[in-house]
Amino acid sequence: DIQMTQSPSSLSASIGDRVTFTCQASQDVRNYFNWYQQKPGKAPKLLIYDVSNLDTGVPSRFSGSGSGTDFTLTISSLQPEDIGTYYCQQYHHLPYTFGQGTKLEIK
Amino acid sequence: EVQLVESGGGLAEPGGSLRLSCAASGFTVNNAWMTWVRQAPGKGLEWVGRIRSKSDGGTADHAASLKGRLIISRDDSKKTLYLQMNSLKTEDTGVYYCIAGADRLDYWGHGTLVTVSS
């Protein structure tokens, strides 16, 4: 199975900060890569698909980049509603696998 | 509006069985590949498996780690996805999410909680 490793495991930042999450795959997943956001007590939601494409309704302060094994999710200006846990996912090889998540809190 | 409503969760004993259902609406269900993902309490997301649309063969792929205990099926006439859970273990405890999509997990249900305990 492809292992997805996210860092950091948790992050505390201030409103307006630029925030960056990373995800590393144990082997090349090309661009078969998504990010999800899970707010407390809610189901996850697709945030970014195919590395850099924002899902419908996702604010433009979110962006994704990367290729192969190293990927990044950036929030350009942190807002209070962005708190939650962020998961990466690869869908290049079965079983599709998720990272362990990065929990984002407001400082 | 896409709606996915899971049901069938609850308390089960180790070694027992449960069948989860997911009622789908708001999209062309019979054309959709569907996925189950689970989340143990306080933990991350785990891919359980997916099922193809009937037009793409209707077959399912499951996480090998589940060793055939959790089986996905669908009944498009009822617009319903199922997850048959057999030989339950305490580590199967968690919230089970039904999802429309396979590669891109577009729409998620609210989830149903399964607790395996004696």
Question: Tens digits of per-residue pLDDT, B89-99?
Answer: 999 999 999 99
- CB-CB: which of A49, A95, A101 is closest to B63? A95
pLDDT of residue B68: 87
Residue of A23, A5, A4 whose CA lies nearest to A95: A4
Q: Does B19 touch chain A if contact means CB atoms closer than 8 Å?
A: no
Percent of chain A with pLDDT over 70: 100
Across B56-65, b (16+ Cβ under 10 Å) vs e yields eeeebbbbee
Test mutation, B33, B39, B45, chain A, max A CBs within 10 A: B45
pLDDT of residue B113: 98
CB contact under 8 A, B108 and A43: yes
Q: Are B116 and B94 in contact (CB under 8 A)?
A: no
List, for residues B24-74, the tens digit of each pLDDT value.
Answer: 999 999 999 999 999 999 999 999 999 999 999 999 999 998 888 999 999
Residue of A6, A3, A7 whose CA lies nearest to A25: A3
Mean pLDDT of chain A: 97
Residue of A104, A21, A103 whose CA lies nearest to A65: A21
Q: How many residues are listed for chain B in this entry?
A: 118
Give the distance from residue B61's alpha carbon to the nearest chain A alpha carbon, in angstroms.
8
- Name residue A83's amino acid: I
pLDDT of A61 above 90: yes
pLDDT of residue B111: 98
pLDDT of A10 above 90: yes
pLDDT of residue B13: 97
A19-25/A4-7 β-pairing: antiparallel
Tell me the C-alpha distance between B80 and B75, whole Å.
Answer: 5
pLDDT band at A36 (very low <50, low <70, confident <90, very high): very high
pLDDT band at A90 (very low <50, low <70, confident <90, very high): very high
Average pLDDT in the B96-107 region?
95
Average pLDDT in the A85-102 region?
97
Average pLDDT in the A64-81 region?
98
CB contact under 8 A, A95 and B44: no
Q: Does B27 touch chain A if contact means CB atoms closer than 8 Å?
A: no
Chain B's closest residue to A32, CA to CA, is B103
- Name residue B61's amino acid: D
Give the distance from residue A14's alpha carbon to the nearest chain B alpha carbon, in angstroms.
24
Test mutation, B3, B104, B106, chain A, max A CBs within 10 A: B104
Tell me the C-alpha distance between A39 and B66, whole Å.
Answer: 27
